[in-house]
């Protein structure tokens, strides 16, 4: 899971890419990179950590040109290192790509390349195979829109997994494409700015990045679709393969910014729907909470809807330290647990003696829930109920949400009946599959982590999972 953005015909390309990436920082905080193109010459900068630490004004000033791509990384394959930060550039072919998603059969593709006489991976990052395959195909097909479509079709016949990609090719233009399932989001924007006669074009992971930059005309890149904008501003669109939509439900449940709209469904509305649907389940239990408390930040909207439906006061009494970043996307268990303790703190005077309904977006590993429950007990809560807007997560994700190991998942190792005792709550209420589907209509959803129904071949998933586990262990040792 990462944040990607590309701009064409912008007078302040690097600065606007940086600002767009800041609005995608929630999608990755391990590092970031920007590459711009200026009169046939590429300029680039990458840095580890948050964008505000990775870039300075002088870095941005050196990134000249009116076209460019940016990327902010969440490590779901490979390691946290400068060499693995995107965008990736091929100087030889003048091709740049930034990728959001996971290539499940990355190891097999690397072996195939090696057996055919090509060099081994330079970075160990799965996104590199997209660059390799595209540059080989483009060199054969030619730098035309038809050649690009054919090249991406060839690529799709090789890759298994999720891939929303933004590319920049010298002499061809800025392009974007999305895997046939549309697992990861991708949008296009265009605008004519005051005083300009030519349009500025952009692609990004989420609408929030483009609306912040002033774009009002935005459309989704469709599953299996490729869009090219030439240097002269001509737009070409085509399907490189038949679409088979299976949008990741976790984007609406947790990952995306609440201000975004994904595949024509506003994230705010989706989370409100989830809260209202969950209220029906709670009402059926006969529980009588005194207050409804959200786990900041992503469950807030659902908790508001739930409180309204139940007629129970909504109270913001778990206070987030705004200087601690997202704990879910940290790489190790120890790092996540340490960050949780620093991230949230309760208002004890509002909790003592009360029956508290805690609302969380999901329960994956249980780290956040267990520590919050312990804090609330220490504050003197009378009873604690925990509600999840997402059904039990029982199966690995191989498409960019970083839980590829079934052993990490609390609901996989234990029955729903066992979980309240493990979590330390008096009652546990999950969203139902039906409630989730109703809340996220009209989208065709990937719910593989809930149902074990994967939209792609996952025969290479065991190798992928073992490799990811090994990479995490190496991080802990180092």
Q: Is the peptide bond before 204 cis (omega within 30 degrees of 0)?
A: no
* pLDDT computed for residue 121 by the predictor: 58
Domain range 2-246, its CATH number among 3.90.1660.10, 3.20.20.60, 3.30.70.2340, 3.60.20.10: 3.60.20.10
Contact, 184 vs 100, CB < 8 A? Answer: yes
Rounded average pLDDT over 307-333: 78
Q: Exposed, middle or buried, 117 (CB in 10 Å: 0-12/13-18/19+)?
A: exposed
Contact, 386 vs 429, CB < 8 A? Answer: yes
User: In what helix (H) or strand (E) does residue 463 lie, and over which residues does it extend?
Assistant: helix 461-477
Alpha helices in 23-127 (DSSP H): 51-54, 57-62, 106-115
Query: pLDDT by residue (tens digit) across 375-431?
Result: 999 999 999 999 999 999 999 999 999 888 898 899 998 999 999 999 999 999 999
Query: pLDDT by residue (tens digit) across 32-67?
Result: 999 999 999 999 999 999 999 999 999 999 999 999
pLDDT above 70 (res 117)? no
* pLDDT computed for residue 471 by the predictor: 65
* pLDDT computed for residue 338 by the predictor: 59
pLDDT > 90 fraction of the chain, expressed in percent and rounded: 77
Residue recorded with tokens 């065709």: 444
Answer yes or no: pTM beyond 0.75: yes
Cα 115 to Cα 105, 112, 129, 299: the distances in Å are 16, 5, 15, 48
User: In what helix (H) or strand (E) does residue 134 lie, and over which residues does it extend?
Assistant: helix 128-141
* pLDDT computed for residue 463 by the predictor: 83
The total of other beta-carbon atoms located within 10 Å of residue 82's CB is 12
Rounded average pLDDT over 450-472: 85
Q: Which two tokens stand for residue 215?
A: 């774009």
Hey, CA dihedral for 235, 149, 447, 404, is it positive or negative? negative
pLDDT above 60 (res 453)? yes
String of b and e for 53-74 (b: at least 16 CB within 10 Å)?
Answer: ebbeeebbeebebbbbbbbbbb
Rounded average pLDDT over 326-337: 51
Query: pLDDT by residue (tens digit) across 290-303?
Result: 999 999 989 999 99
* pLDDT computed for residue 449 by the predictor: 97
String of b and e for 250-286 (b: at least 16 CB within 10 Å)?
Answer: bbbbbbbbbebbbbebbbebbbbbbbbbbbeebeeee
Q: Is the peptide bond before 87 cis (omega within 30 degrees of 0)?
A: yes
* pLDDT computed for residue 478 by the predictor: 42
* pLDDT computed for residue 405 by the predictor: 87
Q: What is the rounded CA–CA span in Å between residue 102 and residue 75?
A: 10
Q: Cα angle vertex 37, ends 36, 39, to 5°?
A: 150
Residue recorded with tokens 């005083």: 195
| Same topology between domain 2-246 and domain 265-454 | no
Q: Which two tokens stand for residue 460?
A: 């290479």
* Rg over CA atoms, the chain: 23
Rounded average pLDDT over 279-306: 96
* pLDDT computed for residue 446 by the predictor: 98
What are the structural domain ranges in the chain? 2-246, 265-454
DSSP codes joined into one string, 302-359: HHHHHHHHHT--B---EEE-TTS--STT-SSHHHHHHHHHHHEEE-GGGTTT-EEEEE
Task: Find, among 24, 29, 68, the residue nearest to 45 by Cα.
Answer: 68
Report the C-alpha dihedral over residues 247, 48, 322, 343, rounded to 10 degrees: 80
Q: Which two tokens stand for residue 469?
A: 């586990």
pLDDT above 70 (res 242)? yes
* pLDDT computed for residue 110 by the predictor: 85
Q: What is the rounded CA–CA span in Å between residue 197 and residue 48?
A: 38
Cα 330 to Cα 159, 276, 325, 468: the distances in Å are 26, 30, 9, 14
User: Which pLDDT band holds residue 80 (cuts at 50, 70, 90)?
Assistant: low
74 compared with 412, residue with greater pLDDT = 412
pLDDT above 70 (res 238)? yes
- Residues marked active site are found at 2
The number of residues in the chain equals 478
User: Which pLDDT band holds residue 162 (cuts at 50, 70, 90)?
Assistant: very high
The chain-wide mean pLDDT, for the chain, equals: 91
> What are 34's strand-pairing partners?
45, 70
Domain 265-454 falls under CATH 3.90.480.20: no
pLDDT above 50 (res 272)? yes
pLDDT above 60 (res 319)? yes
Residue recorded with tokens 């609390």: 410
Cα 419 to Cα 187, 200, 333, 366, 410: the distances in Å are 39, 52, 19, 10, 8
Q: Which two tokens stand for residue 422?
A: 């493990």
Residue recorded with tokens 């989830």: 274
């Amino acid at each position: 899971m990462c944040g990607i953005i590309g701009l064409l015909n912008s007078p302040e390309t690097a600065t606007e890419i940086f600002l767009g990436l800041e609005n995608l920082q929630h999608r990755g905080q391990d590092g970031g990179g920007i590459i711009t193109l200026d009169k046939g010459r590429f300029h680039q900068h990458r840095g580890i950590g948050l964008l505000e630490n990775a870039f300075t004004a002088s870095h941005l000033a050196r990134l000249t040109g009116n076209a460019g791509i940016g990327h902010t990384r969440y490590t779901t394959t490979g390691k946290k290192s400068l060499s693995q930060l995107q965008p990736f550039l091929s100087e030889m072919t003048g091709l740049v790509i930034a990728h959001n998603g996971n290539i499940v059969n990355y190891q097999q593709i690397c072996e195939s390349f090696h057996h055919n006489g090509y060099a081994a991976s330079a970075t160990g990052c799965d996104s590199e195979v997209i660059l390799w395959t595209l540059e080989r195909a483009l060199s054969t097909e030619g730098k035309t829109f038809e050649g690009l479509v054919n090249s991406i079709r060839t690529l799709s016949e090789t890759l298994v997994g999720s891939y929303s990609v933004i590319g920049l090719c010298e002499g061809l233009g800025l392009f974007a494409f999305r895997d046939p399932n549309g697992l990861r989001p991708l949008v296009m924007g265009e605008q004519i700015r005051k005083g300009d006669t030519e349009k500025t074009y952009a692609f990004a992971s989420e609408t929030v990045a483009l609306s912040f930059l002033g774009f009002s005309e935005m459309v989704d890149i469709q599953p299996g679709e490729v869009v090219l904008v030439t240097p002269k501003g001509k737009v070409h669109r085509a399907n490189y393969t038949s679409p088979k939509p299976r949008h990741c439900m976790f984007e609406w449940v947790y990952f995306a910014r609440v201000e975004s709209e994904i595949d024509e469904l506003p994230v705010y509305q989706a989370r409100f729907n989830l809260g209202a649907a969950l209220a029906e389940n709670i009402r059926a239990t006969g529980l009588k909470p005194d207050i409804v408390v959200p786990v900041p930040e992503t469950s807030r909207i659902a908790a508001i809807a739930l409180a309204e439906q139940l007629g129970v006061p909504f109270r913001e009494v778990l206070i987030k330290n705004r200087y601690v970043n997202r704990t879910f996307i940290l790489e190790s268990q120890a790092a996540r647990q340490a960050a949780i303790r620093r991230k949230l703190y309760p208002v004890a005077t509002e909790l003592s003696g009360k029956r508290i309904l805690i609302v969380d977006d999901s329960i994956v590993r249980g780290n956040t829930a267990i520590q919050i429950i312990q804090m609330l007990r220490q504050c003197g809560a009378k009873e604690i109920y925990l509600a999840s807007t997402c059904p039990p997560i029982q199966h690995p994700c191989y498409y960019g949400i970083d839980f590829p190991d079934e052993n990490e998942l609390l609901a996989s190792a234990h029955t729903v009946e066992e979980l309240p005792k493990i979590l330390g709550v008096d009652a546990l209420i999950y969203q139902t599959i039906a409630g989730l589907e109703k809340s996220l209509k009209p989208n065709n959803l990937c719910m593989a982590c809930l149902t074990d129904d994967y939209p792609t071949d996952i025969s290479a998933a065991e190798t992928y999972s073992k490799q990811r586990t090994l990479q995490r262990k190496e991080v802990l040792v180092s």
